[in-house]
Every structure is written in structure tokens, then in C-alpha cells.
Structure 1
Amino acid sequence: MTSMNHNQRRGRVVIGVDTHKHIHVAVALDDFGGVLGKEKFTADTAGYGQLIDWSMTHGHLLTFAIEGTGSYGAGLTAAVRRRDIGVVEVMRTDRRDRRLRGKSDFLDAENAARAVLAGHADAVPKTADGLVEMIRTIKVAKDVAVKARTSAMISLKAVLVNAPAPLREQLQPLSKMALIHRCAGLRPGSMTTVEAATKHTLRSIARRWEQLNDEITAHEKMLAELTTTLAPQLCAAFGVGADTAAEMLIVAGDNPERVRSEPAWARLCGVAPIPASSGMTTRHRLNRGGHRQANAALYRTVIVRMQHHEPTKSYVARRTAEGKTKAEIIRCLKRLLAREIWSLMRPLRINPQTVESAA
């Protein structure tokens, strides 16, 4: 019997991949956990093709188990999908296992494959090829600009604290925006005094804040347009602005059908309670996992609704009368909001949009 015929008769083969910036390490396991081979490949287009071709020499019923599908493994994940091969996202091995078995790239790749064989990993990675990926990249730019703008304001006020008394007494009583505009219009004059140097610094920081503010406004406009195009029903929900809608869409990804159920969505958002019972005590606690930015976005929307949304205010009053604390009520509201958002995103799960179809 030839080698090719022998390979064709083999069952499922799982290719575990430990991804890095410059190289990817792959280990092939058969359906019984036996190691068929291991190899290193460059993390570029040529390397992706070589890795896939190498994998197919071990069998044709392939499943790739890839760590870091959203970072260093994104390119390989896309290449594997283009070859119509199944991909599973694998989380990093827990620390206890690493202490017991040791740490190496080949061990990490083998552990990734074994996690799929054991049924511990079955998450479908994001495709990152549509409007949601566009939203994600723009939101990254916006978030970076927001942090820089906050830092500029902190620096401005820190400089003002140590400014010469006449300048400080003139500027400190002003509101934030009035302070920014006044500092941006300062005229330092010749650089011969501490006051002139301070004016120069204040003007530079204030103008930087204005530039960042204009940039953030442009990013917010783009996000509003894209989120409204992709999920108008989500953006129309009370208290769900473009930023919150963007965060929810980013969590779902361009292939939201990968999230199989509403409880799975709640767990992904970090709002699904988990059991914490012991002995005679039966209780649940808050899930500390999930996407923290999505959880924060839900929290912000809940706070807005508690202040301005009449049905939510009535719910808070009723639950308060039942003896619930404010923290408990907020947790309940976040869970209900996650369920509402899951329902509003149903059209995306039924008919996912690509960049081409949205255009």
C-alpha cells in the first residue's frame, strides 16, 4: 500500500498551531492523540501555504486548532478558511498544566490540538473581513485619541498649577472649554521669562487637545454611519449610541452566527451568573469572564436607562421594593439588556453582511 493510500485511510487529523510574530509552530495529531509530525513555518503568506500543504500530507479530514486567531494567528486563520478547512480558536494553556508539563512552542501547539480532541475547545474564530472589522479598526483609532485627549487635559491642568500667580489666577476659574480656548489663543511673546515659557506650553497642549477633539469627532461620525448601516435596529434602541453599538458588534464579529445561543452571548458579555454553591449553601456569583469592554458598554447603557427610561425606572422601583440592592438591580438590567441586544442582532445572524453587500 502506498503512503498516499495510507494517508487517505486515516481518520481525523488535528493540527495544533502556536502562533508568534515571525514563526508559527505546528503539531499534527491523529484522532487517538498520537503525534504524526511537528514543524516550524514562517508567519507570512508563503509560510501559511507551506503549513497547510504540510498538514495535508498527514490526512485530509483536517481541523486546525490555532492560538491567537485575533492577533498573530489572524493571517493563518484566514488562509486556512480560504482552503475550506475547519478552524477552532484555542485559548492559552492554563498555568497549572504549564507547571506540570513544562513550556515550549511545540508543547503549546500539541496542547492546542489536544484541547480540540478532548472537546475543551470548540469556539469558531471571527472572520474579520467585513463591516465589523472596519468598525473595530476605527474604534481603535478613536480610543487611542480619547486617551491622548484625556492625557493632554491632565497635563494642561498640571502645568497650570505651577504657573506664575498672575497667569494661574487668570485661568484657573475658567470652565474646561473656556480654558482650552483661552490657552490655545495665548501669545507667549519673546522667550525671556517663566511666564512666557508657561504660556507657550499651555498653548501647545491646548491646541493638541483641540486637534485630538476634532479627530475624535470625525471617528465618531464614521462609527455612527457604519453602525447605522449595519444594525439600524440596534442603534435605535434607547440609550444605545454608536459607541455601544460598535462595541456589541465587535464582540459578535463579522460572523455573529458563531455565537450559538442567547445564554452563550450573555456569557461572552460577562453578564451570565455562574454557580458558586458549596455544602448547604446554594448561590450564584457574577461571572468575571467575558469581554470587559462589552460589559462596560452594557453598564453605561443601563445607567442611562435608569435615569431617563421610564420602563427601566419602574423596574428599578419594583425590584427595590422587593429588597434588591442597587448593584443587584444593575446586574439584572445588564442581563436583560444583553438579551435585548441579542434579539436586535438577529437579522445579522440570519443574513450576515459583507463589505461588498453593504456597499
Structure 2
Amino acid sequence: MSMQQVPSHRRVVVGVDTHKYVHVAVAIDELGTILDSRSFVADAGGYTQLIEWAAAFGGKLTFGIEGTGSYGAGLAGAVRRRGIGALEVVRTDRRDRRLRGKSDTLDAENAAKAVLAGLATAVPKSHDGVVEMIRQIKVAKDIAVKARTAAMISLKQVIVNAPDDLRQELQHLSRMALINRCASLRPGKVTTITASTKHTLRAIARRWQQLNAEISEHEKLLKELTSQAAPGLTEAFAVGPDTAAEMLIVAGDNPERVRSEAAFARLCGVAPVPASSGMTTRHRLNRGGHRQANAALYRVVIVRMQHHEPTKAYVARRSAEGKTKAEIIRCLKRLLARELWAAMRPIRDARNELQQAA
């Protein structure tokens, strides 16, 4: 298929189906006519070739990119640095693929048409600032926490099946006392079941200690970075570095892409949506959004319900009105999202000033 030129006043949309090694792009005009389709290597050189190929059509150029948080992140960054508009496209659902078929070119065409139809409106995260640093450290910490939990479970399971004398010595100890005791065991030469059990317990306990030290280092870094990025977040009651990190990760390094406080609440999965039918009028929570951010909001709300006087007064008032505990928690999560969005205002203002200066 040969390339076609488009008048400068007309719109050109390039849909991109991203993969690990190759990106497939399809260009369409504002009438939905396919102009050309090509494949490009998924590296810096390929990104440059793809952008130059798209720019050669003329017209007002917009990219619709799938997977901007994974394989498409590099291309989205390259497009943004060239000053070209880019939107994130959700992959086609399975039902549509069964009806229309599946190929990389079809997926790229669908991405372009989603932008043209106004179905894709989300601006991709930039992944180029302190929030991306926070996200990476949070990933490392979460992996270490899971491994530490697994180590403790394994340690206790070994103790359950340990020889009687060793089991009776260890099973009543508190967590830290158990870790320290097992880490200091001296199995000697492994010639008996007791010696092999001690060897195993010591290995697991020392692994737990190493992971615990690693987690502490991650937490220290998260505290420094979140305080640097948004000091107002960590000053809120019961909001620690972990919760602040989750909120910043949701907003991204370019929080101006989130257009309103209501949009931020929806990203966090705490925006109610209508669920009415017939004579029944009600709402339910939007189950979309960032699950980790939603869980972080829940943890903060639970702590505030126990230790925060204004929250305790709110719970008492809403309970008197006949609200259930689940309904009250839903309301509190929504209010908390509003509070934390306001605390991130300095970041948004700084980004806006930077863009205006540029």
C-alpha cells in the first residue's frame, strides 16, 4: 500500500499495536481511510523512523498507542518529546476479536479508529521523573515483602514438622524472638533430623532478616522521595510513604493529564456509578481503577475510623442516619481521595508552570 499525502488542515491518526520487538502502525485520515501500514523495530531508531513516517503524511498528527505502560512506553515517550499528541488505547476486547478476527494490523487500525471516534481520551503517563523512581522502588519493596511473608510461612511450617524437643522450644516464641533464635541456631554436622531441621530453620530465618533489611532500605528511600515530591501528602493523618507513593503513581509524573478531582477518584476506584433499575435508585462503586491505590485508601480510612477524632465523629453521625459500615467506608474513601488530590496541587501547579515556560 503506497503512502498518500493529506492536506495540512486535515487530521491524521496513527494507531500502533506494540510488542516486545516490533511495533505495527496503521495511519488513517479523519474519514477513516487507511493511508498506509508498516512495521518498525521497537527501539530508539525504530521510534524515530515510525514518527518520521507518520509525519510524512502531513496533516494534524495524533498517535493512539496500545500498552503505553509496558511495550509502548518507549514509543509514547519518543512521541511526547517530539511535541506530538499521544493517547493511550485500551486493547480490543475478546468478543470483538472473535467477530472481526485478530492480527497486528487490525489491532493497530482499531487503535487509530478508537482515537478518531473519541473512545480513547487518556493521556499516557510520562515515566520520566521522580514518580517513576518511586514506582520502581515500590515494585522492589513489594516483591521483598511477598518474599519475607513466604519465608515466615515456610519457617512456621518447618517448625510444625520439627522433632518434638525443637518444636516445643520454638513454637511459643514471638515473631522477632523466633527469627533471632532460629538465625542463631548451630546445627553442627548434618547427621540427624534435628541437625537438618536446624540448618533449614537458620537458612530461612537469615533470609527473612536479609529481606527485612532490604525492605527497610526501600522504605527509607520511599520516604525521602515522597516527601520531596509531595510533602503535603505525607503530612495527612495516617498517610505514610506507602500510601503517598500509591497516590503519586496513580497521578504519574504528568498529573495534569488527570483533568479533575472526580477523574482522580475514578482512577482510584472510589467514584460511585449509577446502579438503578425500575423503582430502585442506588449507586455502587466503580470497580475499575488502580487496585493498589484503592487498597491504600481503605487502609488509611480504617486507621482514621479508630484514631482520628473528626472521622470518628463523621462515622457516628452517618451511623445515626442509618448508613451501614460499608456505605460509610465508601463515603470516607471518596472524601479521602478528594483530600489527597488537593494535597497534590503543588505538583500540578509546578508542572503547569514548567509547561508554560517551555
Q: Same fold (TM over 0.5)?
A: yes
Q: Which amino acid aligns with 1:21?
A: K
Q: Cα RMSD (Å) of the superposition?
A: 1.6
> C-alpha separation between the residues in 2 aligned to 1:244 and 1:232?
13
- The answer for the alignment partner of 2:347 in structure 1 is 348
> C-alpha separation between the residues in 2 aligned to 1:4 and 1:256?
37
Matched-pair contact (CA < 8 Å) for 2:265–2:271: yes
Matched-pair contact (CA < 8 Å) for 1:230–1:353: no
Is residue 109 of structure 1 aligned with residue 133 of structure 2?
no
Shift of 1:57: 2.1
- The C-alpha deviation readout for 1:243-294, integer Å capped at 9, x for no partner, is 0000000000011011001111111100000011222322211111111000
- The answer for the alignment partner of 1:236 in structure 2 is 235
- The answer for the alignment partner of 1:312 in structure 2 is 311
Is residue 27 of structure 1 aligned with residue 26 of structure 2?
yes
Shift of 1:9: 4.1
> C-alpha separation between the residues in 2 aligned to 1:30 and 1:273?
37
- The C-alpha deviation readout for 1:115-152, integer Å capped at 9, x for no partner, is 11000111111111111011001111100000000000
Matched-pair contact (CA < 8 Å) for 2:4–2:36: no
- The answer for the alignment partner of 1:154 in structure 2 is 153
Matched-pair contact (CA < 8 Å) for 1:131–1:230: yes
Matched-pair contact (CA < 8 Å) for 1:131–1:353: no
Structure 2: segments with no counterpart, 5+ residues: 354-358
- Percent identical among aligned pairs is 74
Q: Which amino acid aligns with 2:327?
A: E
Matched-pair contact (CA < 8 Å) for 1:7–1:57: no
Q: 1:5 to 1:95 in 2, by over 3 A?
A: closer
Shift of 1:46: 1.1
Written as runs of structure 1 = structure 2, the 5 A alignment for 1:1-359 is 6-9=5-8, 11-352=10-351
> C-alpha separation between the residues in 2 aligned to 1:74 and 1:148?
28
Matched-pair contact (CA < 8 Å) for 2:15–2:64: yes
Matched-pair contact (CA < 8 Å) for 1:12–1:60: yes
Matched-pair contact (CA < 8 Å) for 1:146–1:216: yes
Structure 1: segments with no counterpart, 5+ residues: 355-359
- The C-alpha deviation readout for 1:2-45, integer Å capped at 9, x for no partner, is x9995444611000001011110100010011101111111111
Matched-pair contact (CA < 8 Å) for 2:185–2:199: yes
Relative to the length of structure 1, the TM-score reads 0.95
Look up the SS of the partner of 1:351 in the other structure: helix
Relative to the length of structure 2, the TM-score reads 0.96
- The answer for the alignment partner of 2:356 in structure 1 is none
Count matched residues.
352
> C-alpha separation between the residues in 2 aligned to 1:273 and 1:345?
22
